[in-house]
Amino acid sequence: MVEQRAEDPLLTENVVGDMEALPFDAESFDAAMFVACLHHVPDPLPALREAWRVLRREGQVFAIEPSSVRARSTGSTPIPGHPHEFRMSGRWLGERMANAGFAVEEIRHRQIAIRALRRLVPTPSLALLRVGDVLDGALRLVPGAETFGEVVMLRARKRQ
């Protein structure tokens, strides 16, 4: 990720740090984004509190993480054989965001149809993912179906 980011001429600064202890002053940013990293810690609350600290008033936080059906109400559970990966549900992650001081504005699950097809197609093509997105639109109309998505996207705003 550091190499890819360094290749982008629009991104002139590159900082590597610990998401639970960011090397920035309080209220330094308008937005923060977590991309597939919160499921690597047993509890994302310290990282979310740190994001809250560095965000300005009304700042937004975005997260996209794998979502586990097995962890619907249990919070974060270790994945056997993967010591640095934890299962979590989108609802639970939203609760952790609220506990960190954010007002959760949106929780959206993606890849609902793809989860159902995963046994038949372990590595779906981009075309199949697009078809899955269309099917997800219809599946969201079925009560409770959205929670079966493989991926969850969250958007929240810093409360004062």
pLDDT along the chain (160 residues), means of 10: 81 86 96 95 96 97 89 78 90 95 93 84 90 88 83 92
What pLDDT was estimated at residue 7? Answer: 84
What pLDDT was estimated at residue 113? Answer: 87
Residues near 29 by beta carbon (within 8 Å), at least 6 away in sequence: 54, 55, 56, 59
What pLDDT was estimated at residue 44? Answer: 96
Q: What is the C-alpha separation between 2 and 29, in angstroms, rounded? A: 20
Closest listed residue to residue 131, CA positions, set 112, 154, 147: 112
Which 8-state DSSP code applies to residue 30? E
What pLDDT was estimated at residue 72? Answer: 65
Half-sphere exposure of 27 (CA within 13 A, CB side): 5
What pLDDT was estimated at residue 78? Answer: 86
What pLDDT was estimated at residue 45? Answer: 97
pTM: 0.84
Q: What is the C-alpha separation between 35 and 49, in angstroms, rounded? A: 16
Residue 88 burial class via C-beta count within 10 angstroms: exposed 0-12, middle 13-18, buried 19 and up: buried
The CATH number fitting domain 2-111+143-158, selected from 3.40.50.150, 3.40.50.10800, 3.30.365.10, 3.40.47.10: 3.40.50.150
What pLDDT was estimated at residue 61? Answer: 98
